Structure 1
Amino acid sequence: MTEPSFELDDQDRALLRALREDATLGTGELGRRLGLSQPAAWRRVKRLTEAGVLSGRRLVLDREALGFGVTVFLGVKLATKGRVSLDEFERAASAIPEVQTVEHVLGLYDYRLRVVARDLADFERVLRRRIMTLPGVGNVEANVLLSEERLPGPI
């Protein structure tokens, strides 16, 4: 495992943990939580952003509350890698609104897609009409998500 090129101190790690829990925290609140002044917290956030450690903030939507009760992970093996460019497949897959992530992976499949749907019938429609018609698609394996637990990560 390679060492990060950017050195984090304990305050940086505490700041990242706080932002991981609530990315909407302002630098004033971050400073209060970490025992720093608002300007010191702002400088740390700026330094971490400029170093690429922080890149954007995300809003987590409750898919079920929005009517998307099914999440499926698809393993996709391309049938003809030589005739279809990976970029072409990635662009086409990313254009499907129900496809949440497109991951190029090493292993049995070439890609792993995270797909959301309203229910299994909706997923079948997305699979048949959109995913199976993507350029170069060969074998597809579906795994329906039963439950998900988020782990805090290494920080």
Structure 2
Amino acid sequence: MLDDADRRILRHFQRDPSLSMADLAVQAGLTAATCWRRIEKMQAAGVILGQEAVIDWAALGYAVEVSLRFTLEKTRASAFDEFLAAARQVPEVLEIQTFLGRVDVRLLVIARDLEHYQQVYRDRILTLPHIADIEPLMHLARLKSDQVLPV
């Protein structure tokens, strides 16, 4: 279970994961050694999964984002796993989510422009196995995108 000190560490760490251990400790009101031990404990417990660089793919020339919702044909027991394995191989697929309900899977796909998206859609998406139905949703604006948890 997390105590108040762990929560302080997480709040500051989420806000700025590039902080040095000394700076993080000062902001959390702890010694550097205590802060380090608590970070290690939270990593070992799976609370902190890692650190990552967040890259703005739009700054790299990707202007199109489409969410594709799939309903799969479930005539074979392996259909779901085969679809997911194939979808993981498409470089333009940034995210894969699975659901219970009418929609089975959602893919987040990026492309440089509509022509590139059309090529990805025809050559990579439509060739994925076991598709019964696809519903594309063109992304217009991101109103909130936050990975910070309220700890």
TM over 0.5: yes
Structure 1 position 69 matched with structure 2 position 63: yes
Cα shift at 1:26? 2.6
User: Where does residue 153 of structure 1 map in the other structure?
Assistant: 149
Q: Which protein has the bigger helix share? A: 2
TM-score computed with the length of structure 1 as normaliser: 0.88
CA drift of 1:154 comes to 3.1
Aligned partner of residue 120 in structure 2, secondary structure: helix
- Deviation by residue 1:50-90 (Cα, 9 ceiling, x = unmatched): 11101111211011111111111110111234264322211
Provide the residue aligned with 1:4 in structure 2: none
Checking the alignment, whether the CA contact within 8 Å between 2:63 and 2:113 is kept in structure 1 is yes
Match of 2:106 in 1: 112
Corresponding residue number in structure 2 for 1:125 = 119
Deviations 1:74-130 (A, max 9, x none): 101112342643222111101100000111111221101111111122112111110
RMSD: 1.5
| Percent of paired sites with the same residue | 38
The answer to whether residue 50 in structure 2 is matched with residue 56 in structure 1 is yes
Q: 1: CA distance between counterparts of 2:101 and 2:16? A: 35
| Partner in structure 2 of residue 3 of structure 1 | none
Distance 1:147 1:71 in 2: 10
Residue 137 of structure 1 pairs with residue 127 of structure 2: no
The answer to whether the 8 A contact 1:76-1:140 is kept is yes
Q: Which whole-Å CA distance do the structure 2 matches of 1:34 and 1:104 have between them?
A: 37
Per mean C-alpha deviation after superposition, the further-off stretch among 21-30 and 49-58 is 21-30
Q: AA paired with 1:142? A: P
Consecutive aligned runs of 4 or more in structure 1 exceeding 6 Å deviation: none
Distance 1:14 1:81, change over 3 A: farther
Deviation at 1:35? 1.5
Distance 2:70 2:41 in 1: 39
TM-score, with structure 2 as normaliser: 0.91
Deviates more, 1:84-93 or 1:124-133: 84-93
8 Å CA contact 1:84, 1:136 repeated in 2? no
How many residue pairs align between the two structures? 149
Conserved in 1, the CA contact under 8 Å of 2:63 and 2:112?
yes
